[in-house]
Structures are given as structure tokens and as C-alpha cells.
Amino acid sequence: MNAPARTLASPYAKRLARERGVTLSLVTGSGPNGRIVAEDVPLTPVAAAAPVPAAEVVVAPAAAPVAVAAPVRSISAFAATIDLAPLAAFIAASGSHLSIDAFLVRAAARAAGSHAVTVRWMKAEGGAVTIPRAVALAPSEIARRIGSESDAPASADKAMLVSRLNAKGVRPVAGGLPAGVDLRVLVVAGDGEATAEALAVHDADIIPEVEAGDILTRFRDLLEAPLRLLV
Amino acid sequence: MSAQASPEATSPDGKKGGKPAAATPKIINPVFRSAPGKVLPAGLSAAALLELYERMVLLRRFESVAQTACRKGETPGFLHLYIGEEATAVGVCAHLRPTDWITSTHRGHGHALAKGMDPNILMAELFGKRDGCCGGRGGTMHLYDRSTGLFGTNGIVAAGISHAVGAGISARTQGKDGVGVAFFGDGATNHGGFHESLNFAGIQKAPAVLVCENNLYATATPLASATLNPEIATRAAAYGIPGVAVDGNDVIAVWQVMAEAISRARGGDGPTLIEAKTYRTVGHHEGDPVTGTYRTQAEVDEWLKRDPINLFRARLLDDFGTASADELGAIDAKIDKIVQASLEFARNSPEPDAATTALHVYAEPINPPEALVQAAPTTSVTQSWLDAVRDGIAEEMRRNPHLLYFGEGTGERGGTFAHTKNLWAEFGPHRMVDTPISEQGFTGAAIGASATGARTIADLMFADFAFEAAGQIVLQGAKLRYMSNGQMNAPMVVRVGSGAVRSAGPHHSGTYHPSWANIPGLIVCMPSTPADAKGLMKTALRAGDPVMMLEPKALFASKGEVPTGEHFVPFGLARIAREGSDITIVSAGQLVHRSLEAAEKLSAEGISAEVIDLRTIMPLDVGTVAKSVAKTHRLLVVDEGWGAFGVGAEVAQAMNELAFDDLDAPVGRLHTDAQPHPLAPALERAMLVDADKIAAGAKGVLAGRPPVPKHWRYLGGQAAPAPVATAPAALRSVEPTAAPVPVPAAAAPAAIGDGEPITMPFGDLTISEGTIVGWLKQEGDAVKAGEIVAEIETDKAVVEIEAPVDGILGPIEQKKGAVVPMGGRIGSVRA
């Protein structure tokens, strides 16, 4: 039988080759029996517009990097679409009547890590609430604070801004970054919507773009697997 | 009871008669019958008599119609008819309220109707229709009706007896005078379920009545050929409870006997065994010949002369003059209409919607709401595993006064592992129930109690012992929600110590979680930290399904940070125990700690391993594993269960289905070798998974060659040799089993003597250390072999340490207050 020799490759190597436009039969495998594994797949070629690896997180085409009036700040922004169905199911299963805002705050705090010990929640109707150590608070407690009139005293900790615009059919493309703030997450989601659009705005001199992308990815992942938010 | 020998005959000295007292007992079992004559029996009015008659006619006519439908092929499956035995169910159930529970057998239509089930929903269930009492999920042998107190007809012989006992205990716990009544056949009386349940009911003084319908044959096996004591009522003496035999075809007699039994049960005097001697005048099941080879037509004819309805009809007409023949005929006609209506109802009821077939396997959602909303964070405290879980149970018992704990030695004694210490003192013997060694009996009672308003922990001590109760767990608890169409559920926790630790041997080392996770309806937890163990236990005690709580014995002495506030861990959420980027290692229970050690070794070689702790085997958090594999692209599953059809196979296949394009190498798996656990440490070590095997396995996966198990035992060669782990150093075996927080090592000894060593003895599987309370002798003192020289306090007791030989004590190597591991040296004696 003169059947052509089969090219052995791991599923992941095959996926990478597909994404990178690489012909696997030209690649030498380093695995058992000459199996091609991920590290054997070259990064070339990229002729036409290369598919973006993680399709869900894209640089907002029209708005990034966004130039803002402040003179010497180098500001970038990333956008992502978030599936809200798991969060809605989670809240329903918990038997509580929380809105998604408390979860947005907690997810933002978790995702930002050391970049924001404190979250400053910008109310849609104007005004803001400072929530120190939001990462350690239960969603019900965060909801209570968001709803309260009194504001916690300003702390010396780094604060990030989080806000939600209750609107349908629009996407965020730019957001201002006040002095002293390095990170902001702006979410657009109507009540009961199946998806949300989120924009992470950051000072690229302080939070590198790679890290900001990671923060937004984590933010999305936490909201899409809400049980993770509790551990 | 003449079966009891006289005290003289049992005299142990053997002198009185000159020979031992062993003798075949003489068995006398008088059968109670109602008094003849025209006087109405006390307590029974004319109206009550007519109700008994009407109810018996309903049972008979209903089954005659069902019999015809079955012959026409209208009912799927077999019907086991009760024809000929109606007086027993009707006489017993006349005393019951809807809030009392009965359990029944495969021959249970009569019990269901006697207890008050609507004939329409019963007939529709026999037809497997949507409007049946269980929506077509149960059928003839699995009828449930919460509204009338029918806790199941049952396809398993003797299985329902313990449920009735549990239902009675449950009612008592809730401060009600409800009673559990078990119906069972003569065949059941030679089954362990009968023995264990009657014994447990007796010692617990359970508000229960145990009704044996002795129809002489277990299917086709004559009772007299199955036991040398066929007088079933006399067996009550074996359990110290009253037993009475009654003519089961005499409805008045049954009513009278039951009147006394129910008053004992409701009055707190405990259970009664009733043997109703009766006869089915039809075949074992519809289609089975009436006589078969096991009985004669003459015998059937003899019993037909004593047909319970005809007998009672004659007494109503001739003795009591309660009604005229016409009046009884009117009752018969009324019942015929009801039965015909039920037939039409069943025929017209739609088939169940096929799209609903998977409903009612588990609670939906599977987690209780409390476990899904995190409480405000609190401080934490360092606690041992057993204390943390014990506190969790105590919190739940304080919150829920109907939470019971059934276990062997878990009462005043505080548990084999000291795992229920102080609970008895706080909650008393009625809630911390010390059980006989009757796993089947008290686990069944736990199901019965849990399904009727109480909650129960059934503590089976070792995971190995759970098989003694496997029928109850798998066939009853796990299926109850489904069979009953979601009407009933058994929120019971089966608590066991699991897994290998210190040569516990073939019968005390297993974990078996893949076997349980294979059963739909069961939740299987295997925590690895004290906080998770407490959190999962508390979640289990609020959840709606039976939970197998497997706590690794090797971790009982471990310590960890436990939140001081309300703490729940949801089912189905894995924990990332260590983050990494090159390979994912998935594990659970004690092997999480071996995996973390392996990750540390791999890290020294520049390999970054992510370790995932599954926490629950069912539900299985494959999502977290897939997410990790999307990052690392390689996976090794490490599990203490046996590998064949196990956790490794399940997780690996899940990755095929969910993360195929992310895999850069075949998934590997490492399990405890597929063999029993040997005693000898050298043999046991060879079969268990350790950190070296995990590190070697991980490197195999990274090289694209995962370890290959040998458990298939197929005919043919091995595809590739398994990578060989580096041989563990010989001394490793004597290290104490590792714990999340390392056991504090003994302080550096002052000086090592050259005499005979004095050591902390190995006392118990689950104790790993002790504190020296004090030395009773000083260095230089002369001591005798066996003389107490020191005292050491462990979690369970103060241990006295003896001098090993005659000689001079010293040097003392560990001072007062030092913490010493099991087997560790504390000093020596020079001969």
C-alpha cells in the first residue's frame, strides 16, 4: 500500500497550525513517534489579517488607544463581550434578589488584584460609593453598600472605578480616567440582558497592556463562572 | 413464649441435668381469631364494619379489573396481585391516619388503596401514564403517595421495613404521634433487613408496627422449607418485643390486634410484630399459574372457602345483621362504578412526555441556596479536621432540632476516631443514636427518617462498611426522588472514614468513590482540608439528596484554617490548590497533598504544575479542569480510587469531549493499583500513589508518554511500558502521613541515649501525635520493666508510657510539653 504517511500531531498543535496558517506536513515533530506538539508549530506565516487568538477579547477598533485630554498620560482600552446567562442563573438559584452590580464590583476587584484594593462605584444617577477591600466582601454586603447613602471615608489605597450603564444596543468605546486613577471598568448592560459589553480603560505607563488584557479576561471569566467568585 | 427455655435449663454449670441444656425449642404460636357470635366487637360500630367491607371490596374489584387489563397487555410490566389477602391491609390501615406512613412490598396495590390512595391515580400508574401517582416513573412495585402516607411499594424484599422504623422515629423526633407501619411477606423474615430492622426498632422503642403477611410461600418457596421456625410471630422474642399471630383472613381479628399494636406505638411503648396468616388465591404474578408445582389445587380450594370477603359478608348478614344483602349489593355496585371510572381514567391519561424522562434524578438546583451565597467573610481559626467537621455538625444540629445522628459507638463513647466527641453530651441519646452493628437496618431507617421530615447522618465508620448498606443506599435512597416523581427525597448523609492509612489492611483501607459516583442520585464528596470538610458537611446537611461523605482517615489528624462564621462549600466546585502553567494535575482527598508535594519537586526541575482539588466527585467540576487544560494543554489525573472505570477515565474522556483541541499530549492517570490493600507496609507502599509516582507520571505526560495502567488484564501485550517512578527512599515509609499543615516535628532531642529506647506507642489509626504531660521518673532513677515512667496525652486519651526493660532511666530526650509523633523516641533506659 502506498498511502501517504500520516502526519501525527496533537490536537492542540493542529489547532495552532490552523490558526497560524501553517502546513503541518512541512513541520518536524519532536514528540513520540515524530508527533508534532505545540512547541514545534512555527509562529509564521501571517499573510492576511491574522485571526486574533482569543477572539472574545479584542482591542476596541475605533477607540484604542484612546487619547484623553490629560497631557502626558498614555491611555489604552480593551473591550469584551460577557455572557450574563450563568450569572442570572446563579442569582436565581441562590434565591436572592441581588442585581448584577454587586457581582460586577466583586469580579472587578478580584480581576484587578493589587491594582485596586478599593473599588469606587460610580452610580448611574451621579455620585459614587467607595468600597474598600471589595474582594473580601459578600455580594449581599456589596449590594448593601452600593445602595447606601453614606460613603466610606476616602482611603489611601489605590482605587479603581467601576460603573454600569443600564442601556441596550450600545457599546462603550471610550472612558475618561480621572487623575490619580489608573484603571476603570465600564459595563453597559440593560437589566435582564443576555450579554454585557465591558470596557477596561487603563494608564499604560502603570498597568502594561498585556496585564490590562488579562484583567479584562479574568473579569469576564469570573462573571461567566460565578461560583468562582465565591472561592 | 414457650420458645424460651426455662432458667433452669439454661443453667451453665451443666450439673442439674447432668448434660448441657442445648435442645430444639418447642414452638407454640396461638393464632388470634375474632370471637364468634352476634355481639358487635368492642370499638366497631355498624358503620365502621360497613366501611371495612367497602374497602375490602374496593381492593378485590380494583385488582380484578387490573388483572384483566394486564392480560390484555394494557399494563407494561408484571402485576403481583393481593387477591385473597385483603383483610390484612384493610384491618391494619383502618387504624391509620394520612400522616402515618406505611411501607409495602411488590404486592402492594391493596396497601395503597387501604391507606387511601385515589384509585384513578393508582390505575393510571399501573398503566404507566402521566396522571399516575408517580407520573409513570414508578409503576406497580414503586408506588409512592405523600398525601396519603404511602412510603412506597417496593421491588426489594425486606427493604421497606427499616423505612417504616425510620419514619416512626422521625415522627417522634418531630414531637408527633405518627407511626410507621411496615408490610412484608414471609419471605422477608429470612432476610437480614428483617432482623436488623426489628432489632433496631426494639432497642429504639420505635413507634412502629411490623406486619408480616404470611401467605406461606416466598414466590414458590414454602416457608417450612426456608426456616425451621415458620411461626413468625414467635421470632419477636428474639428482639424482646411483643409478637402476635392473627388469622389474616378475619378482618375483625386483624383490626383488633392492630388496635392494640397501634396504641402501644402511639403511646411510646415501642413496636409490635404482627403475623397475619393468609393466602393469595392467585399466582405469584399475573400470568403465573395459580397452583404451579409448589401447591395443590386442593390447598387453594381449601383457602378459597375461607375467602376474607365472603367470611366477613356472612358475618355482616348472619351474625351482626348490619346490612341486608341488597344493601351490600349496592355497595358492590358503587365500587364497580369507581373501579370502572379508574380504568377509563387510566386509559384516557396521556403518555408521559419523553422530554421529561431525566427529571427528578437530583434536586434542582443541586446545591442548597445557602451554599451559593457567600456569607460575609469572618476570621479563621486553626482546627483539626475532626474538630472542624464536628463543629459543623453541631452547628447544624443546633439549627435543626430534627437532625439525627445514627452510628456505631458515636454516642457517649464519642466515635471510633473521636469524631463525635461531646455531641452526645449536648444533644442526648435520642439524637446521637448509638446503633447496633446493623448498617443495612440503620441506614434504611435513616432513609425513612430523612424522607419524612427529619434529617439523618448514617455514620458507617469505614468506607468499606458502606457495602453492608449498599442496597439501601443505591436501590432506595438514590432512587427515591425519581421513583416517587419528585414527591419524596432522602436528604441523608452517609459519613465514612475512607482511604489508606498506616497498614489498615484489606477491610479498612478502601475509598470506593467511583462506585458511588456511578449511581445516579448520589452526591459524592471527598474533601482535602478541614475547612472544605466542614463546609461540605454543612452543605450536605442542607441539601436535598443523599450524600456520600468520604473523609480521608489519613487527614483526620491534619490541621488547617477554618472560617469561624457560617461556612458552606458548594457541590461541584473544584479548588485550584496551586497555580501553574505547564501541566494540570487533578486530584481529590489525601492525594491532593501528594500532588502538591509532586508539584514542588517538579518546580525544582523548572516544571510549573497546576494542582486542582476536585472536592466533590459527583457533581464533577469538569469546567474548571477544561479551563486549566486550555492554559497548560496537558493533564494528569491522580486518584486514590481504583483506575478501572474510574475518575481518571471519566475526567480524561470529559477532556476529549470538552477540550480536545487544547490537548498537546494524551491525558495521563495514576490510581491506586487494582488490588486489595495489603497489610505489609512494603506491599502497601508499592500499590499506593505517592509524590514520586506523580512527578514521574507528570514528566511522562509532558514527554507525550503518559503512564499506562495494567488493570485491564486483557489478552495481549502491553502497548508501551509504563514510566517507572524512582524508587522511594526506604525511610519514607515511616514518615507520618502528610497533612495540609505539617505535623509539628519533635523538638531536637537533648541527647540520644544508647540504652533501650522509650517510644510513643502507635495507638490508633487517626492519631498522629501526642504531648508529654510529664515524666514520673527522673534521669538516673532505677526503673523496672513495665513501670510507668511518663504520660502522653493524645486527642483521645492519656497514654501511660512504660519502661521497656529494667535499668537506669536516661537520658530523657523529650521534656514535658514536647509534641511527639507516634512511634517517636522520648528517652531510653540503660540496662
A8 and A66 share a domain?
Answer: no
How many angstroms separate the CA atoms of B461 and B647, rounded? Answer: 23
Q: What is the pLDDT of residue B723?
A: 56
Residues B559 and B582 in one domain: no
- A30 and A65 together in one domain: no
Question: Looking at the 3D structure of chain A, how many domains does it have?
Answer: 2
Report CA-CA distances (Å) from B583 to A70, B33, B621, B691. Answer: 45, 77, 18, 15
Instruction: Determine the distance from the C-alpha atom of residue B301 to the mean position of all C-alpha atoms in its chain, rounded to a whole number.
Output: 44
Q: Indicate if B147 and B231 belong to the same structural domain.
A: yes
B580: left (phi over 0), alpha (psi -120 to 50) or beta: beta
C-alpha span between B304 and B300 (Å, rounded): 6
State the smallest CA–CA distance between residue B418 and chain A in angstroms.
Answer: 30
- Rounded to a whole number of angstroms, the distance between the first and last alpha carbons of chain A is 58
Q: Is B682 helix (H, G, I), strand (E, B) or coil?
A: helix
Closest CA to B831 of B801, B805, B803: B805
CATH code of the domain containing B676? 3.40.50.920
Q: HSE-up of B12 (CA within 13 Å, CB side)?
A: 0
The DSSP secondary structure of B240-266, one letter per residue, reads TS-EEEEETT-HHHHHHHHHHHHHHHH
Query: Is residue A144 within 8 angstroms of chain B, CB to CB?
Result: no
Co-location of A93 and A159 in the same domain: yes
Q: Which amino acid is at B65?
A: V
Domain containing B425 equals 379-563
Confidence of residue B533 (pLDDT cuts 50, 70, 90): very high
Q: What is the pLDDT of residue B119?
A: 98
CB atoms inside a 10 Å sphere around CB B540: 30
Parallel, antiparallel, or unpaired: how do β-strands B782-783 and B807-812 relate?
Answer: antiparallel
pLDDT band of B691, cuts 50, 70, 90:
very high
B377:A137 CB<8 A: yes
Closest by CA position to B131, among listed B345, B337, B340:
B345
Q: CB of A214 within 8 Å of any CB in chain B?
A: no
Phi, psi for residue A132 in degrees, rounded to 5: -70, 150
- How many domains does chain B fold into? 4
**Is the domain of A113 the same as that of A213?**
yes
Task: Give the helix/strand (H/E) hosting A215.
Answer: helix A209-224
φ/ψ of residue B537, rounded to 5: -60, -45
**Segment B287-308, tens digit of pLDDT:** 888 888 899 999 999 999 999 9
For B809-818, what is each residue's pLDDT tens digit?
A: 988 988 898 8
Nine cell digits for residue B611: 494542582
How far is the C-alpha of B766 from the C-alpha of B415, rounded, in Å?
A: 12
Q: Which residues of A touch B627 (CB under 8 A)?
A: 221, 225
Q: Which of B766, B768, B786, B767 is nearest to B777 (CA)?
A: B786
Tell me whether residue B11 is in a domain.
Answer: no
State the pLDDT at residue A156.
66
- Here the cell at position B453 is 421530615
> Does some domain include residue B816?
yes
CA distance A2 to chain B (A): 26
Cα B102 to Cα B112: distance, rounded to the nearest angstrom: 9
Residues B539 and B666 in one domain: no
Which range has the worst mean pLDDT, B456-460, B594-598, B747-751, B766-770?
A: B747-751
User: Would the pLDDT of A18 be above 70?
Assistant: yes
Q: What proportion of chain B, given as a percentage, has pLDDT over 70? A: 93
B418-460 per-position pLDDT tens digit: 999 999 999 999 999 999 999 999 999 999 999 999 999 999 9
Closest by CA to B43, choosing from B111, B100, B91, is B91
Pairing between β-strand B807-812 and β-strand B635-642 as defined by DSSP bridges? unpaired
Do the beta carbons of residue B255 and residue B94 sit within 8 Å? yes
Query: Is B508 a known active-site residue?
Result: yes
Alpha-carbon distances, residue A136 vs A93, B538, B578 (angstroms): 22, 21, 20
Mean pLDDT in residue range B581-590? 98
For chains A and B, what is the number of CB pairs under 8 angstroms?
72
B74-113 confidence digits (pLDDT tens): 998 889 999 999 999 999 999 999 999 999 999 999 999 9
Q: Which member of B369, B372, B664 has the closest CB to residue A37?
A: B664
Identify the CATH number of the domain in which residue B145 sits: 3.40.50.970
Query: Is the domain of B148 the same as that of B256?
Result: yes
Residue B83 has what DSSP assignment? T
Place of cell 495494567: B710
Which tops the pLDDT comparison, A226 or B198? B198
CATH number at residue B809: 2.40.50.100
> Do B218 and B69 reside in the same domain of the chain?
yes
What gap in Å lies between CA B482 and CA B356, rounded to an integer? 11
Q: Where are the alpha helices (DSSP H) in B174-248?
A: 192-204
Confidence of residue A53 (pLDDT cuts 50, 70, 90): very low
For residue A179, give the nearest of A71, A60, A67, A63 by alpha carbon. Answer: A71
The mean per-residue pLDDT over the stretch B771-800 comes to 88
Q: A191: domain range? A: 57-230
What is the structure's pLDDT at B80?
95
Which chain A positions have a beta carbon within 8 Å of B624's beta carbon? 225
Please indicate, yes or no, whether residues A42 and A96 belong to a single structural domain of this protein.
no
Q: pLDDT band at A71, cuts 50/70/90?
A: low
Give the CATH number, domain containing residue A193: 3.30.559.10
Q: Are residues A42 and A149 in the same domain?
A: no
Which grid coordinates are listed for B503? Answer: 497498614
- Per-residue model confidence (pLDDT) at position B516: 98
Nearest residue to A89 (alpha-carbon basis) of B367, B358, B543: B367
Which residue from B178, B176, B129, B124 is spatially nearest to B151, judged by alpha carbons? B178
The two beta strands, B583-587 and B609-613, are parallel
Q: What is the pLDDT of residue A60?
A: 42
In angstroms, the separation between the Cα of residue B549 and the nearest Cα of chain A is 21
- Choice between B232 and A151, residue whose per-residue pLDDT is larger: B232
pLDDT at B743: 43
Cβ atoms of B417 and B553 within 8 Å: the answer is yes
Distance CA B185, CA B689 (A): 49
Among residues B284, B508, B567, B593, the one annotated as catalytic is B508
Query: Locate cell 422503642: which residue?
Result: B205
Q: Are B69 and B132 in contact (CB under 8 A)?
A: no
* Same-domain status, A142 and A175: yes
List, for residues A179-216, the tens digit of each pLDDT value. Answer: 888 899 999 998 888 899 999 999 988 899 889 999 99
Alpha helices by DSSP H, B457-606: 470-471, 480-483, 513-517, 530-540, 591-604
Higher-confidence residue of B731 and A207: namely A207
pLDDT score of A50: 40
Taking an 8 Å cut-off on Cβ atoms, the answer to whether B660 and A38 are in contact is: no
Alpha carbon B440 to chain centroid, angstroms: 7
How many residues does the structure list for chain B?
831
CA distance B595 to B609: 9
Average of per-residue pLDDT across B721-744: 47
Q: Are residues B322 and B188 in the same domain?
A: yes
In a domain, B371, yes or no: no
Asked whether the beta carbons of residue B369 and residue A95 sit closer than 8 angstroms, the reply is yes
B740-745: long-range contacts, CB 8 A cutoff, minimum separation 24: B740/B528, B740/B529, B740/B530, B740/B555, B740/B558, B740/B559, B740/B560, B740/B593, B741/B382, B741/B558, B741/B559, B741/B560, B743/B557, B743/B558, B743/B768, B743/B769, B743/B821, B744/B769, B744/B819, B745/B821
Separation CA B630–CA A54 (nearest Å): 11
Work out the mean pLDDT of chain B and round it to a whole number: 92
pLDDT exceeds 60 at position B718? no
Q: Residue B830 in contact with residue B810, Cβ under 8 Å? A: yes
- Pick B570's closest partner by Cβ from A10, A138, A227: A227
Question: Could you tell me the CA-to-CA distances from B48 to B53, B94, B276, B317, B545 in Å, in that order?
Answer: 9, 9, 21, 15, 41
Same domain for A145 and A167? Answer: yes
* B154 vs B184: CA distance, rounded Å: 10
**pLDDT for res B763:** 61
Whether residue B527 is found in the same domain as residue B394: yes
Mean pLDDT for B347-373 is 94
Q: Are residues A98 and A128 in the same domain?
A: yes
Look up the CATH number of the domain holding residue A36.
4.10.320.10
Does A38 contact B664 at a Cβ distance shorter than 8 Å?
yes
Does the structure show a pLDDT above 60 at B26?
yes
Residue at B744 is within a domain = no
What's residue B750's pLDDT?
Answer: 52
Residue B746 within any structural domain of the chain? no
Residues written for chain A: 231
Q: Which of B303, B325, B346 is the endpoint of a domain?
A: B346
pLDDT value for B18: 74
Q: Is the pLDDT of residue B363 over 50?
A: yes
Quote the minimal CA–CA distance from B696 to chain A in Å: 17
- Does residue B721 fall inside a structural domain? no
Amino acid B735: pLDDT: 44
Instruction: Convert the pLDDT of each residue in B457-513 to its tens digit.
Output: 999 999 999 999 999 999 999 999 999 999 999 999 999 999 999 899 999 999 999
B299, B330, B346: which is the final residue of a domain? B346
Same domain flag for A42 and A63: no
CA atoms within 13 Å, Cβ hemisphere of B261: 32
Same domain, B505 and B438: yes
| A63 and A16 part of one domain | no
Domain end among B324, B346, B368: B346
Quote the pLDDT of residue B32: 97
Higher pLDDT, A50 or A3: A3
B15 in any annotated domain: no
pLDDT tens by residue, B110-157: 999 999 999 999 999 999 999 999 999 999 999 999 999 999 999 999
Q: In A, which residues are within 8 Å of B374 by CB distance?
A: 138-139, 230
Which band of pLDDT confidence, cut at 50, 70 and 90, is reported for residue A56?
A: very low
Interface of A with B in 6-25 (CB under 8 A): 10-15
pLDDT at B281 over 50: yes
- Residue B161 above 70 pLDDT? yes
Q: Quick one: B107 and B225 in the same domain?
A: yes
**Cα–Cα distance for residue pair B649/A1, rounded to 1 Å:** 35
Chain B residue numbers with beta carbons less than 8 Å from the beta carbon of A106 are: none
- Residues forming beta bridges with residue B771, ordered by sequence position: B793, B819
- Cβ within 8 Å of B, A 25-44: 31-32, 35, 37-38
Query: In which residue are the cell numbers 500520516 written?
Result: A6
Please give the C-alpha separations between residue B757 and each of B731, B753, B803, in angstroms, as whole numbers: 19, 8, 9
Closest-CA residue of A relative to B633 is A12
- Structure confidence at residue B726 (pLDDT): 52
Note whether ipTM > 0.85 here: no
Q: Helix, strand, or coil here: B684?
A: helix
Residues A116 and A89 in one domain: yes
Residue B10 lies in a domain: no
List all residues 6 or more positions away from B178 whose beta carbon is below 8 Å from its beta carbon.
B97, B99, B100, B101, B167, B168, B170, B171, B207
For B498-522, b where at least 16 C-beta lie within 10 A, e where not — what string?
A: bbbbbbbeeebbbbbbbbbbebebb
